[in-house]
Chains A and B, each alone.
Chain A
Amino acid sequence: MANIMLWEAIRRAHDEEMTNDPLVICMGEDIGVAGGTYKATNGLYDKYGPERVIDTPISENGFTGLAIGASFIGVRPIVEIMSVNFAWLAMDQIFNTAAKVRYMSGGQLEAPVVIRSAGGTAHQLGAQHSARMEKVFMGIAGLRVVTPSNPKQAYGLLKSAVRCNDPVFINEHEIMYNMKGEVPDEEFFHPLEGSEVTRPGRDITLFGYNISVHWCLQAADILSKKHGIEAEVVDLYALNPLDREGIRNSVSKTHRAMIVEEAEAAVGVGSEVMAIINEECFYELDAPPGRVSAKNVPIPYNHTLEKAAIPNANDVVNAVLNMFGKNG
């Protein structure tokens, strides 16, 4: 078991998969000679060469479409889109081709492409480099969406995504690449469906994913130590499809739910999880489910305003206390 950074875990997954299959390639802006903005492909250019580690022009729709076309005939591309804000430009090919081609061809073609992209608020990157888009991707039939909250998941999800025959979008976070965590030394494939109880509890379920899992864990700690509330934290590492069974099981146990997301609330992970709770276990609830989300604004540049735009662990604590009728 090695304690490594998240970028190192992603890099290791690339390296192993590229060694395993000569048709695995990776491509994106600055990922080759420059080693990658997040170092996730560092050193791979020298090891595998320019045909397999491809520095692309700044043409997101073009190179994503190219990767999808190559995937039709056996190539296994891992595309890095530098910021999820730029993935909008590739939306046509992701949405109209990758997610639909198996269906509209009656099962004749499929697009086993992996698209990794970093989103989220980092350090004053401004409105056009700070957005999150998982809410958009997770609503697309035919596209799997996963999002790692730690290096082990980042490694194992990428490994499985490369081998899975569906297109997989991996939603990473700008400020999590240097996060450290344990990754098993032996090869490991993380499931692309399901959820994980990161901290068991009995009084309320805090649903998080990616960075918000950490806010949930911090909040659960405070709630336990200061307020005697034992929160269960469920990591929704798979956003499409969402784990209905896992959501039902946890809420049926705790009877309360709070969904925590960095993005704006509207049409988001929180709304979808709430809908699932309604459909699956409404009568188990002791209180209306709540959600903690970003303000409904583009992300501002000013650091104080930026911090105020997105939630943190204290917001989660306060929301939970309100739900329990205790003023935080």
Chain B
Amino acid sequence: MDVAAKKRLLREMLFARRFEERCYEAYVERKIGGFLHLYSGEEACAHGVLEAANIGSDYVITSYRDHIHAIKSGMDPKEVMAELYAKETGCCKGLGGSMHIFGVEHRFMGGYALVGGPFPLAAGLAKGIKMKGGSEICICFLGDAANNQGTFHESLNMAKIWNLPVLYVCENNLYGIGTRIDRSTAVVDQYKRVSGYDIPSEQVDGQDVEVVYAAAQKAINHVRSGKGPYFLELMTYRYRGHSMSDSNAYRAKDEERVWSKRDPIIMLRDRLVEAGEITEDDYKKMDDEILEDIENNVIKFSEESPEPSMDLLEKYVLAENDPWVHGGPK
């Protein structure tokens, strides 16, 4: 990875962190409703993997912790934040919410709120790619706890027997909601569980974006070359609770301290500073610019956007004017 890419990733990851922190504030101010699952601490996962993907061409699908995957997939942070604000300018016109961010024109195929739900959907997207003869792949991001759903096993099995171009990325943040992985899961190393399906897998440091990027390149090359599915486990940590309604009381302060020393943004920043590529002041300036951008553009846009029109309430339930409902085109 060249220096320019590292600097850009530093900015993108810092933007992601500030975006999520601003979501937190907006939630506390009751500007955002429902459930809100923040990605702070895990930034290197989405950024490292998608940096190695063909953004806008490869299909991306994920869970409800989806804001940052959406933005890294090319979506405008304004339409993501406006969705959280439940405004008509939101990517889903205020019908989706935090857990259901969609940006289909960027091939961001959505955030889904049933744990493990996207596993078979990703295999299906890969099946679609294969049928249409494309060179794209599907990348599915899910947390470690999703692997205790049946869909994990069913989908890995199908992806393998049908040799589907799908990369499953496991963001292992050690907790399924509030239950630590060793209390819920017989085999805590998730990459080992995949061996039962004869799918190649690897576990790497999910806090180091360069490590994630290198592992993702290898994984994506495997999938794109027609060799079938691949499973990449990224060891990471979320700073906030599972969602905003989570008191986060179940984690030891010592554990949090250890992981905070491996912050993906700080690690990359320090590396660039040590190499003389940026200064502390450059970083501070970047941060100020990001904060200003979020406030003056993203938040302002969301605040000023209109509420969805009542016409939307019943609009997208069934297809509009579908001739096949009435016996075909006349």
Contacts and interface: CB of A to CB of B under 8 A. Distances in A.
Interface of A: 22-23, 25, 51-52, 54, 56-57, 59, 61-75, 92-93, 96-97, 101-110, 141-142, 144, 160-161, 163-166, 189-193
Contacts, number: 180
Interface stretch (B127-135, B227-235, B262-270, B293-301): B127-135
Nearest to A95: B114
B157 interface: yes
Contact of A72 (B94, B109, B113, B322): B109
B154 A103 contact: no
Nearest to A62: B154
Query: Nearest 4 pairs between A and B by C-beta?
Result: A69-B124, A62-B154, A65-B120, A106-B92
Contacts of B158: 56-57, 59, 62-63, 66
Contacts of B131: 22-23, 25, 51-52, 70, 75
B258 interface: no
Contacts of B90: 106
Interface residues on B, range: 35 or more
Contacts of A142: 317-318
B96 interface: yes
B85 interface: no
Contacts of A193: 325-326
Contact of A103 (B61, B95, B104, B114): B95
A61 B124 contact: no
Contact of A57 (B95, B122, B157, B319): B157
B112 A191 contact: no
Contact of B155 (A54, A66, A70): A66
A160 B132 CA distance: 23
A119 B208 CA distance: 53
Contact of A96 (B104, B117, B150, B319): B117
B123 interface: yes
Given A57-B161, A92-B114, A163-B324, A108 B318 contact: no
A90 to B, nearest CB: 10
Interface in B103-142: 103-105, 109-110, 112-114, 117, 119-132
Interface of B: 59, 61, 90-97, 100, 102-105, 109-110, 112-114, 117, 119-132, 150-151, 154-155, 157-158, 161-162, 312, 315-319, 322, 324-328
B128 A164 contact: no
Contact of A105 (B96, B113, B324, B327): B96
Nearest to A96: B114
B128 A70 contact: yes
B10 to A, nearest CB: 31
A109 B126 CA distance: 16
Contacts of B96: 104-106
B319 A72 contact: no
A64 B158 CA distance: 12
A23 B132 CA distance: 8
Given A69-B127, A106-B94, A165-B324, 11 more contacts: A61-B151, A62-B158, A66-B121, A66-B158, A70-B131, A96-B113, A96-B114, A106-B93, A107-B316, A108-B92, A160-B324
5 contacts: A65-B119, A70-B125, A104-B92, A105-B316, A106-B96
A67 to B, nearest CB: 6
A164 B324 contact: yes
B35 to A, nearest CB: 14
Nearest to A141: B317
A92 B328 contact: no
A191 B127 CA distance: 30
Nearest to B315: A107
